[in-house]
């Protein structure tokens, strides 16, 4: 049986994160509608769901990027001020974004350094005054003076910060360490994502939020990120992961929550949720959830057929290749995984699909 969303992971131990009744609407759309979530220390929890189900909005609410309409967020039992990302960072929440956000005109080292700003003490005297509008100029002036004439304490803090940055860059080996002084805009897409993860980890967070860290990566890069996340899990890092790639979800997650239209529709181990009829219905529709395909039928062909007809209904007369339609949905891995469970455990591996648009037509090259 799956654990209740509001139940602590282990009796007698204080959960790292507790989310109660989280809601957020955009106009008439309820992006997050009453989400409850509890994560224990060292637990690796993943959130999955169809596109537009509220996954990234939930992460944005927890990290303070968005302000919830209602609900509360507690880290180690203390309420986090809603809609204040700096408050979340000070409390010990670090995150990456679905669309990578690095400072292109700064070096890799400087990008990671930015993530440590809230940990500075000697370099940020009188920081308590920063919350007072009429007096916030005083700590700014003090920081400026210490930047020009650093004290021994400031120099020692800088050495400590440099060591922490080196530690996180070394986590990614030859990917980032030789490029530490390179501007971020010169990096490959994958290395920009690695830089963003290193920046989040430099904070040594109580809770790490990862919003599709493997998005846009090829199979080799995804496998590498998977190994690094597995190392974090072995080290006891508490993680909340949003991801579409089911291999990562299955291999790393202690628990999985499934969102659909802003609601939690299922929760449990990866195997439990992927076999749940509600999850299959959310991804593939009611008819697929109710009717299991006959043994030996072609899962890929049937899935592509469903996607093709759905797309054709929305755009009559449009020429759409079935494999391309499945790939363009952004759910290929999840579709394959849920179909595999609906066919009685048949193993189905997701194939990389490269989509190219030429003269209004969609062409796909599915790797063998």
Whether 157 maps to a domain, the answer reads: yes
Range of the domain at 132: 106-186
Whether 175 maps to a domain, the answer reads: yes
Whether 174 maps to a domain, the answer reads: yes
Pick 177 or 127 by higher pLDDT: 177
pLDDT band at 199 (very low <50, low <70, confident <90, very high): very high
- State the Cα–Cα distance between residues 54 and 123, nearest whole angstrom: 39
pLDDT band at 117 (very low <50, low <70, confident <90, very high): confident
- State the Cα–Cα distance between residues 93 and 118, nearest whole angstrom: 11
The confidence score (pLDDT) of residue 299 equals: 38
Whether 119 maps to a domain, the answer reads: yes
Percent of all residues in the chain with a pLDDT value above 70, rounded to a whole number: 74
Final residue before a domain boundary, out of 164, 186, 208: 186
Whether 94 maps to a domain, the answer reads: no
- State the Cα–Cα distance between residues 357 and 71, nearest whole angstrom: 43
Q: Is the predicted pLDDT of residue 115 greater than 90, yes or no?
A: no
Final residue before a domain boundary, out of 162, 186, 210: 186
Whether 136 maps to a domain, the answer reads: yes
Tally of structural domains, the chain:
2
Pick 170 or 309 by higher pLDDT: 170
The confidence score (pLDDT) of residue 291 equals: 52
Pick 284 or 113 by higher pLDDT: 113
Q: Is the predicted pLDDT of residue 313 greater than 60, yes or no?
A: no
Q: Is the predicted pLDDT of residue 65 greater than 50, yes or no?
A: yes
The confidence score (pLDDT) of residue 364 equals: 36
Structure confidence by residue, pLDDT tens digits, 227-272: 999 999 999 999 999 999 999 999 999 999 999 999 999 999 999 9
Q: Is the predicted pLDDT of residue 125 greater than 90, yes or no?
A: no
Cα torsion 215, 221, 223, 227 to 10°: value is -100
Structure confidence by residue, pLDDT tens digits, 26-39: 998 999 999 999 99
Final residue before a domain boundary, out of 152, 186, 220: 186
Please, what is the angle between helix 299-314 and helix 332-342, to 10°? 130
Distances (CA, A) of 249 to 47, 180, 226, 229, 286: 9, 30, 9, 11, 24
- Helix runs in the chain, H state only: 55-62, 85-91, 108-114, 137-148, 152-171, 189-202, 219-234, 246-252, 270-274, 277-284, 286-290, 299-314, 322-328, 332-342
Structure confidence by residue, pLDDT tens digits, 260-290: 999 999 999 999 998 999 998 888 776 555 5
The confidence score (pLDDT) of residue 132 equals: 81
Residues 39 and 17: beta-carbon distance below 8 Å: yes
> What integer is the mean pLDDT of 294-307?
39
Whether 47 maps to a domain, the answer reads: no
Whether 195 maps to a domain, the answer reads: no
Q: Is the predicted pLDDT of residue 165 greater than 70, yes or no?
A: yes
The confidence score (pLDDT) of residue 139 equals: 84
């Amino acid at each position: 049986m799956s654990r209740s969303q509001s139940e602590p992971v282990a009796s007698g131990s204080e959960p790292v994160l507790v989310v109660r009744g989280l809601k957020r609407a955009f106009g008439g759309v309820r992006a997050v509608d009453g989400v409850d979530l509890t994560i224990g220390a060292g637990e690796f929890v993943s959130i999955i769901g169809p596109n537009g189900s509220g996954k990234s909005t939930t992460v944005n609410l927890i990290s303070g990027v968005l302000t919830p309409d209602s609900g509360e967020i507690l880290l180690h039992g203390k309420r986090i001020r809603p809609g204040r990302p700096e408050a979340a960072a000070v409390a010990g929440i670090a995150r990456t974004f679905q669309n990578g956000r690095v400072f292109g005109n700064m070096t890799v080292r400087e990008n990671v350094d930015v993530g440590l700003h809230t940990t500075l003490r000697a370099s940020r005297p009188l920081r308590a005054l920063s919350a007072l509008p009429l007096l916030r100029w005083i700590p700014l002036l003090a920081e400026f003076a210490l930047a020009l004439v650093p004290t021994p304490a400031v120099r020692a803090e800088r050495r400590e910060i440099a060591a922490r940055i080196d530690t996180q860059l070394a986590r990614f080996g030859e990917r980032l360490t030789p490029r530490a002084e390179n501007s971020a805009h010169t990096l490959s897409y994958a290395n920009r994502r690695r830089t963003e993860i290193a920046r989040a980890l430099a904070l040594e967070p109580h809770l790490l939020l990862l919003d599709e860290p493997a998005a846009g990566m090829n199979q080799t890069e995804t496998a590498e990120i998977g190994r690094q996340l597995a190392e974090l899990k072995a080290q006891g890092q508490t993680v909340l992961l949003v991801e579409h790639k089911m291999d990562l979800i299955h291999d790393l997650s202690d628990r999985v929550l499934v969102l659909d239209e802003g609601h939690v529709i299922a929760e449990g181990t990866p195997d439990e949720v992927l076999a749940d009829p509600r999850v299959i219905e959310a991804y593939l529709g009611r008819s697929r959830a109710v009717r299991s395909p006959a043994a030996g039928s072609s899962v890929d062909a049937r899935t592509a057929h469903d996607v093709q007809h759905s797309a054709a209904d929305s755009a009559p007369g449009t020429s759409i290749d079935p494999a391309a339609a499945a790939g363009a949905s952004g759910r290929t891995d999840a579709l394959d995984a849920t179909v595999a469970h609906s066919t009685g455990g048949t193993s189905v591996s997701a194939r990389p699909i490269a989509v190219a648009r030429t003269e209004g037509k969609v062409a796909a090259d599915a790797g063998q």
